[in-house]
């Protein structure tokens, strides 16, 4: 006979910033009767003199895209709070090391290089004046993207050295012409066109392969390819269109089987920003080659991530896989049961229960 015995009565602490992204997680915790507290990072405080956590586990769900919603300070604050939790020995899912990696594309490049995985050639710069020189030995087109990324925001593609030089000259008279984001650091990186027009995201949980999906891309529609994000960054003054959001599983668009369309919703990016409905993305379940999965797991483990997605593409140029992003904030794919055949949120909560020591399976 098996009995579930509680071994830790303290609640989970869910550290989050986006008000909509974690409804599935909260719902699953409530369905199971797991005690938890919502730690809204934009209105939070901690005492450095406290040496014991009141939580059985803190689950970090703060996104590097927080600055798009007027919450840039929350990114920096989260680092301090995670450092405090680490100092006290409090258990954390995607703690300080994982979050530091996620909020730095430059550190991700260093991780790729250290582990010897293939990635698009790139340079790291801290001023627009250095872009042309940094890109000298890169193959065009190139993209310039902020070190602290999120939902493909502020990324720009340049087809030629002349186009990049023109942008740099424009930036000399207008600091907003080339926005490097909140830490004023950026990557200039070779743009690799994906073979057959799709990229692949491999999700890893607790050091094990969870699932993979391929996402159809359209370079004319920007770089926001997250399979669950419901927002993208609009051009200034773009009006909100709430009429094109369809059904959550894409049924109204005639999609069936293991394919789905991810439908968007209008969102609030904070003061001075304008919301936009994200266009549907065509997503399918996918099984990557074994060696690619092994590399993804190595990256996640070496980066200190308990849960995360690793993205790669197969380059149309040479037919080889290239890793380009490590994402610790796994919202998982929309309509997951129909796309990948199971509920990853439920698997995630299984892991949280085990990690927190909330329930222990005991033979009696």
CA–CA separation, 319 vs 307, rounded Å? Answer: 28
Q: Tell me the CATH class for 121-191.
A: alpha beta
Q: Which two tokens stand for residue 138?
A: 């890169």
CA–CA separation, 151 vs 72, rounded Å? Answer: 14
pLDDT score recorded for residue 333: 86
Average pLDDT (311-325) is 97
pLDDT score recorded for residue 224: 44
Q: How far, in whole angstroms, is CA 135 from its chain's centroid?
A: 26
The pairing of strands 142-146 and 186-190 is antiparallel
**Cβ pair 206, 307 in contact under 8 A:** yes
pLDDT score recorded for residue 221: 52
> What pLDDT digit, counting tens, does each position of 119-144 carry?
999 999 999 999 999 999 999 999 99
pLDDT beyond 60 at 181: yes
E-strand ranges in the chain read: 2-6, 12-16, 36-40, 57-61, 92-93, 122-125, 142-146, 156-158, 186-190, 194-205, 208-216, 259-262, 281-285, 307-315, 321-327, 359-363
CA–CA separation, 303 vs 308, rounded Å? Answer: 10
Q: List all residues 6 or more positions away from 109 whose beta carbon is below 8 Å from its beta carbon.
A: 119, 122, 124, 187
Q: The domain 2-102: what is its CATH number?
A: 3.40.50.20
Average pLDDT (279-303) is 92
**Cβ pair 193, 319 in contact under 8 A:** no
pLDDT score recorded for residue 231: 36
Ranges 27-41, 87-101, 260-274: which has the least confidence: 260-274
pLDDT beyond 50 at 47: yes
Of 233, 212, 223, 207, whose CA–CA distance to 307 is shortest? 207
Domain map (residue ranges) of the chain:
2-102, 121-191
pLDDT score recorded for residue 261: 28
């Amino acid at each position: 006979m098996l009995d579930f015995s509680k071994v830790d009565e303290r609640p989970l602490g869910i550290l989050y910033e986006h008000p909509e992204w974690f409804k599935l997680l909260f719902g699953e915790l409530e369905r199971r009767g797991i005690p938890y507290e919502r730690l809204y990072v934009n209105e939070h405080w901690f005492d450095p003199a406290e040496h014991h956590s009141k939580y059985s586990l803190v689950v970090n769900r703060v996104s590097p895209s927080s600055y798009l919603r007027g919450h840039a300070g929350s990114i920096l604050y989260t680092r301090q709070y995670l450092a405090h939790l680490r100092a006290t020995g409090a258990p954390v899912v995607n703690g300080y090391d994982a979050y530091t990696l996620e909020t730095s594309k430059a550190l991700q490049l260093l991780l790729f290089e250290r582990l010897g995985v293939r990635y698009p050639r790139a340079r790291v710069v801290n001023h627009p004046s250095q872009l042309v020189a940094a890109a000298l030995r890169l193959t065009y087109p190139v993209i310039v993207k902020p070190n602290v990324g999120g939902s493909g925001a502020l990324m720009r593609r340049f087809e030629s050295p002349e186009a990049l030089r023109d942008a740099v000259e424009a930036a000399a008279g207008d600091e907003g012409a080339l926005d490097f984001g909140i830490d004023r650091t950026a990557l200039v990186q070779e743009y690799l066109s994906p073979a057959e027009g799709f990229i692949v995201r491999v999700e890893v949980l607790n050091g094990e392969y969870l699932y993979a999906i391929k996402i159809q891309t359209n370079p004319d529609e920007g770089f926001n390819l997250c399979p669950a994000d419901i927002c993208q960054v609009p051009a200034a003054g773009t009006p909100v269109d709430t009429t094109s959001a369809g059904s959550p599983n894409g049924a109204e668009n005639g999609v069936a089987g293991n394919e789905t369309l991810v439908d968007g919703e209008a969102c609030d990016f904070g003061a001075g920003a304008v919301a936009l409905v994200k266009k549907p993305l065509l997503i399918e379940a996918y099984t990557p080659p074994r060696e690619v999965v092994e590399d993804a797991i190595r990256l996640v483990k070496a980066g200190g991530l308990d849960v995360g997605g690793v993205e790669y593409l197969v380059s149309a140029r040479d037919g080889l896989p290239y890793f380009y992003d490590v994402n610790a904030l796994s919202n998982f794919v929309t309509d997951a049961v129909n796309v990948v055949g199971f509920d990853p949120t439920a698997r995630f909560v299984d892991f949280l229960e085990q990690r927190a020591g909330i329930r222990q399976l005991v033979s009696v």
